[in-house]
Amino acid sequence: MTEPVIKVDALVKKYGNFMAVDGISFTVDQGEVFAFLGPNGAGKTTTVEILETLRTPTSGSVSVLGMDIRRQEQKIKQKVGVMPQSFNAFDWLTVRENIEYFGSMYSKTVDIDHLIETFGLKDKRRELFKNLSGGLKQRVGIALALVNDPDIVFLDEPTTGLDPRARRDVWEAVRELKNRGKTVFLTTHYMDEAYYLADRIDVIFKGKIVAEGTPEDLINKYGGGNTLIIRDCCEKAREQLVRAIPGSRISGSDILTKLPPEDGMASIAKAVSILNNGDLSCKEIYVKKSTLEDVFLNLTGEKLTEEAS
């Protein structure tokens, strides 16, 4: 086992009396996409900016690539790439000029044309930044974060405010980073983004890490199990189903059943056999898998995003 590339132990950040980061500990391994998943104000940016040596912690220890953030700030800055939340570049410079400009701040840079090509920006390299769509701007942001050929790339909410198509484009760019062996530290409040991109997720809420694991682990452990949904049932079907299947309840004309993690098949088989016998009618039967949204709700009692409400 190689040493983790990020090690955080008992990290605290207070703004005055307000505890923004409340004693968190975690590690990130070389080559993984690690995500902080949490709502507004959870402490994501604060933590990430401490790791980037842009903010100073109140207490706790943090090492990045084996270096202490308090003592080797300049060295760390050379070795990490950063795409800040609400990132912006120079409106009146072209894509290529922006990348050149950011590159000029580092002692070592990658081949800029190759970088432009990798992120599908070749056709736009002479376009002014201000004329790009939101998704393309974010892609430029990721390219800028890579200009110094960093070992770790920090992406702070890289898709907030983008439409679904542009978000997908950014996701593919993040996948590309992983393929190139970069370690990616992502923050997001989108559960689908964390699910799609992250190898491992820390759920962060009110400055504390409330759970950690792979997306599937978290869903299996905290998702509350899958739900069998039988839609648009006639009254007789509803009565029989609810009587026969443990844990089921009527919701409008539907029957909802929380499936026990180990024994879900028994309930499904029972439902199907009931519906096979007699003149009962239902329109649809399916199993809804629990999601990271359910994980968050079960862990915190709150919805992760407004959209989920």
Ligand X SMILES: Nc1ncnc2c1ncn2[C@@H]1O[C@H](COP(=O)(O)OP(=O)(O)OP(=O)(O)O)[C@@H](O)[C@H]1O
Q: Which residues bind ligand X (CB under 6 A)?
A: 15, 18, 20, 38, 40-46, 85, 189
Between residues 95 and 201, which has the closer beta carbon with respect to ligand X? 201
Cβ closest to Mg ion, residue 99 vs residue 145:
145
Residue 145: CB minimum distance to ligand X, A:
17
Nearer to Mg ion, 21 or 255 (CB): 21
* Binding at 182: pick from Mg ion, ligand X, none (beta carbon under 5-8 Å per type): none
Q: What secondary structure does DSSP assign to 10-79, as a single string?
A: EEEEEETTEEEEEEEEEEE-TT-EEEEE--TTSSHHHHHHHHTTSS--SEEEEEETTEETTT-HHHHHHH
Q: Which does 188 bind (CB under 5 to 8 A by kind): ligand X, Mg ion, none?
A: none
Residue 40 binding: pick among Mg ion, ligand X, none (C-beta 5-8 Å cut-off by kind): ligand X
Taking the C-alpha atoms of residue 186 and residue 189, their distance in angstroms, rounded to an integer, is: 10
Alpha carbon dihedral 175, 180, 186, 192, in 10-degree steps, equals 10
Place of tokens 């500990």: 25
Is 262 exposed, middle or buried (CB count within 10 Å of its CB: 0-12, 13-18, 19+)? exposed
Helix (H, G, I), strand (E, B) or coil at 9: strand
**Cβ distance to ligand X smaller for residue 242 or 308:** 308
138 binds, among ligand X, Mg ion, none (CB under 5 to 8 A by kind): none
76 binds, among ligand X, Mg ion, none (CB under 5 to 8 A by kind): none
Applying the rule CB under 5 A, the residues between 230 and 259 that interact with Mg ion are none
Handedness of CA 260, 263, 267, 268 (dihedral sign): positive
Minimum distance, C-beta of residue 189 to ligand X, in the bound complex (Å): 5
* Closer to Mg ion by Cβ: residue 85 or 220: 85
